[in-house]
Amino acid sequence: MPSTDAAKDSFFGSLTKFADWLQTRLNNIDIFDEHHAEEAKTNPFYSLGGIFYLVWFLVMFTGCVLIMWYVPTKANAFDSILHIQHGIPFGNIMRGVHKYGADAMIIAATMRLYRMFLCADYKPKKEFNIAIALVTLLLSMYSGLTGYLLIWNQRAFWATKVFATFPTYMDQFPVMGDFYLPLVKSLHLGWNTAEFLLGAGGAITQETITRFFSLHLAFSAIPLIFVELYFFKTGFKRVPINWTKRSVIILMLMAVAIFLPAALGHRSNPDVTPLPILSDWYFLGLYQMYKYLEPVVATEITMVIPISVVLLPFMDVWITGAEKDISKRPLIFYVALMGFLEWIIFSLLIIVNIANIHSDPPWWRLSLWGLIDVGILLQCWHAFNHSKTPQECSLASKGALVMGIAGGIQLFWAVVYYFMARTEMFLSPLSQAATYWVVKVLGALPNADQAEKLVRTVIKPLDKANFNMGYWDYHQLMVDMSNGIHMPGEASIKELHALVMNSSTGWLDLLFKMIPSFTVVTKDGVSQPVPYVNALDYMVSNRWCFDFINFTNRTTSGVEKSVSGEYYPLPVPDVDWSWMILGLVTTIACGVVYFKFKNRGVQPAAKPVATPVEAAK
């Protein structure tokens, strides 16, 4: 019992500590720099939150005025904007303030996010403020994106059409992708997201403009309710800047609206595709990235970016503790610099329509990882030379461990990319080939060698007969054969099926028997999938065995030709070796710092020496 009670106390103690940790950070939340009212009096960068809030109200006010004349239909949207621009008194100013105010919100939110990183405004115990600042930026961007379509001009129509295809690539993500079992595949999360945004089967129609109009209002109205509840509860001042600054901001927006009227463009034409297709300025960098990468990979990176931003302050606290001086936090500085430069350069490249998918990506991969590595190495150098006290040594070892993990992640992706470049196989096939190999090495795939031999035998005649085996669809082969369709290698396919069904028992079979397969049976009027027979059945049916064979073929010189006519494995671009080597160097540097300081940190306090009387007791 004592041990059980101790375990309970430990559990509830940990739960209490986590609740205190969470509550402290929730209490320190800063939505619009309301905790920096004093700094804002002398430092304009601490007025950015108040400026954002002020401009947000201007955008909402002008938006409510524009709604009186705007008609959200395909037939009338563009004409109603024309009427506002030229037929309504001061309509052009209202529309200009609305458009440029939205741009100002994004600029203010971006500058504020960078200020928080460079000035370490998430210290102490304010890490959640980065997430709040990121949410304000994303809401501004997506509010602008939904409002962009409402003009219904040529540029907005086609930019939205490109944007609308992004969610569909989520259906090719691992776990929820098309390579996997029907139970997961049936979710169609990506397609359903696109359908929710656009309607009408994913096409740009009247449903699209109606939904974007509703979302455009929702992205401002709903957050406003929560923000007002927050200010009502806390009693903070909403716009902690004086009326002189407020007047300057309002006059600046009006001046820009007067001297640089908001563009209207040409009426949308679904039959004419503009080249290049450009979004509004704040999404240009992402559009350029989508030119360079496979759409699935680009979509994954788009989701990783905001997650990384949210995690960075926690990482910095682990590495530098309470330090706020940016000169002593080179990692954060170079990560921020990398993000800024990549966005600016990508935006410029898409404007001038430059995108060489063969020569450009190695250089931006090097710049991305290279700047991060410079930051890690400088951080290691600083820790190596300035860690004197036990507390500093403890922080240096913890920070080196965290950065070493980051360097290890880079090294891992360098290895993955090496094989991707050599074999022209992407992440999902590579990961499946690697998993198949691991399961095979662990002895959980009896008869795997025979199955691989039969799959190789099946692929060759099917390829020669123009059966597309670039995508292994074992399930469809079995369906075609059951429907009486004869194909080359039919005897080998039947032998493979018999081998899979009667394979020896492996120690992971029980796990794979719990997974529904592609085969569906109907019993008592209810259709349900049949579980896989064993691990080998899953590996063959879901192309993992095929991917392993494809990988081994492409890593063996002179066995298989690429589309360009070269034999695999292909050469890796020379520039790409740089960031691969840098990943190894940074990991080693972090290891050196970690092992140098790990035993020189804060030691536990020594127990007091017992007195003779206490010893006798």
For residues 501 and 446, give the distance between their C-alpha atoms in angstroms, rounded to a whole number. Answer: 12
Give yes or no: residues 338 and 319 share one domain: no
Give yes or no: residues 230 and 329 share one domain: no
Is residue 398 helix, strand or coil?
A: helix
Span 334-355, pLDDT tens digits: 999 999 999 999 999 988 888 8
Q: Name the nearest CA neighbour of 490 among 463, 464, 518, 457.
A: 457
The residue from 304, 324, 344 where one domain ends is: 324
What is the DSSP annotation of 188-244? -HHHHHHHHHH-GGG--SHHHHHHHHHHHHHHHHHHHHHHHHHHHHH---S--S-HH
Residue 177 has pLDDT above 60, yes or no: no
Mean pLDDT over residues 247-254, rounded? Answer: 95
Span 99-158, pLDDT tens digits: 999 999 999 999 999 999 999 999 999 999 999 999 999 999 989 888 988 999 988 888
Strands 526-531 and 516-523: antiparallel
Q: Name the nearest CA neighbour of 445 among 529, 543, 512.
A: 512
What is the DSSP annotation of 289-307? HHHHS-HHHHHHHHHHHHH
Is residue 7 a part of any domain in this protein?
no
Number of domains in the chain: 3
Give yes or no: residues 290 and 360 share one domain: no
> In this structure, what CATH number is given to the domain that contains residue 199?
1.20.810.10
The residue from 513, 532, 554 where one domain ends is: 554
Is residue 592 a part of any domain in this protein?
yes
The residue from 262, 295, 324 where one domain ends is: 324
Q: Which of 178-192, 326-340, 447-461 has the highest mean pLDDT?
A: 326-340
Residue 54 has pLDDT above 90, yes or no: yes
Q: Name the nearest CA neighbour of 322 among 488, 124, 605, 536.
A: 124
What is the DSSP annotation of 93-148? HHHHHHHHHHHHHHHHHHHHHHHHHHTTTTTTT-THHHHHHHHHHHHHHHHHHHHH
Residue 612 has pLDDT above 70, yes or no: no
Dmax (CA) of the chain: 99
Provide the sign of the torsion angle of the four alpha carbons 268, 270, 271, 273, taken in this order.
positive
Instruction: Supply the pTM of this predicted model.
Output: 0.85
Confidence of residue 200 (pLDDT cuts 50, 70, 90): low
Give yes or no: residues 284 and 243 share one domain: yes
For residues 98 and 94, give the distance between their C-alpha atoms in angstroms, rounded to a whole number. Answer: 6
Q: Provide the β-strand partners of residue 516.
A: 531
Which residues, including other chains, have CB under 8 Å from residue 252's CB and lie 6 or more apart? none
Give yes or no: residues 255 and 368 share one domain: no
Confidence of residue 3 (pLDDT cuts 50, 70, 90): low
Which residues, including other chains, have CB under 8 Å from residue 124's CB and lie 6 or more apart? 322
Q: Which domain holds residue 135?
A: 19-324
- Give the helix/strand (H/E) hosting 10: helix 2-27
Give yes or no: residues 401 and 437 share one domain: no
Looking up tokens 């503790």 gives 321
Is residue 570 a part of any domain in this protein?
no
For residues 113 and 121, give the distance between their C-alpha atoms in angstroms, rounded to a whole number. Answer: 10
Is residue 563 a part of any domain in this protein?
no
Is residue 503 helix, strand or coil?
A: coil
Give yes or no: residues 320 and 269 share one domain: yes
Give yes or no: residues 487 and 592 share one domain: no
Is residue 114 a part of any domain in this protein?
yes
Q: Name the nearest CA neighbour of 230 among 416, 363, 391, 31.
A: 31
pLDDT for position 4: 67
Give yes or no: residues 396 and 456 share one domain: no
For residues 546 and 358, give the distance between their C-alpha atoms in angstroms, rounded to a whole number. Answer: 28
Give yes or no: residues 376 and 240 share one domain: no
Percent of the chain at pLDDT exceeding 90? 47
Give yes or no: residues 330 and 464 share one domain: no
Is residue 578 a part of any domain in this protein?
no
Give yes or no: residues 260 and 357 share one domain: no
Residue 310 has pLDDT above 90, yes or no: yes
pLDDT for position 611: 53
What are the Cα distances from residue 549, in Å, to 98, 405, 448, 508, 567?
Answer: 58, 32, 11, 21, 16
Is residue 186 helix, strand or coil?
A: coil
Is residue 161 a part of any domain in this protein?
yes
Is residue 2 a part of any domain in this protein?
no
pLDDT for position 1: 47
